[in-house]
Amino acid sequence: MSLLLLDTTFLIDADRGDGQLDDLIDDDDDVAIAAITVAELTVGVRIATARHRASRQAYVDEIVETITILPYDEVVAVRHAALLVAVRRAGRPSGAHELIIAATASATGRTVVSADRGAFADLPGVVAIDHRSS
């Protein structure tokens, strides 16, 4: 069993029907998402055209109902601060949401599953896999 944290890029690929996704997650894996991922997916709903909005909302609703959502709590906040310091000292720009996802994964002992492993590369204490190259 693996502890996995699915990021938004993974979930978007899953919504688009990427058949390789089932090969990555075993039935006994414990999957979760960071709370910030709900925000990112909801933005996708709200900026969608009227034609796609209902299906996107249904997808987000399904995710929220079936996948554990990990909160941005004090433990994650402290880990987030450590990651912010690390990227600033390294002079490496990093997206705010990616750092929150990374902090959530690190604080909970999970591996980030992403289509953008580079966003998580070289972050101390963060393990990430790129599902597209798996």
Tokens 């963060």 identify what position? Answer: 126
Tens of pLDDT, residue by residue over 39-75, are: 999 999 999 999 999 999 999 999 999 999 999 999 9
Tens of pLDDT, residue by residue over 17-42, are: 765 556 667 888 999 999 999 999 99
Among 34, 49, 44, 59, CA closest to 120? 34
**DSSP H/E element including 64:** helix 50-66
Asked if 101 contacts 5 with a C-beta cutoff of 8 angstroms, the reply is: yes
Among 23, 27, 53, 31, CA closest to 104? 31
DSSP type of residue 110: -
**DSSP H/E element including 69:** strand 68-70
Structure tokens that stand for 33 in this block: 């998402």
In the chain the domains, ranked by start, together with CATH numbers, are 3-133 (3.40.50.1010)
- Neighbouring-strand partners of residue 126: none
For residue 4, is pLDDT > 90? yes
The predicted model scores a pTM of 0.90
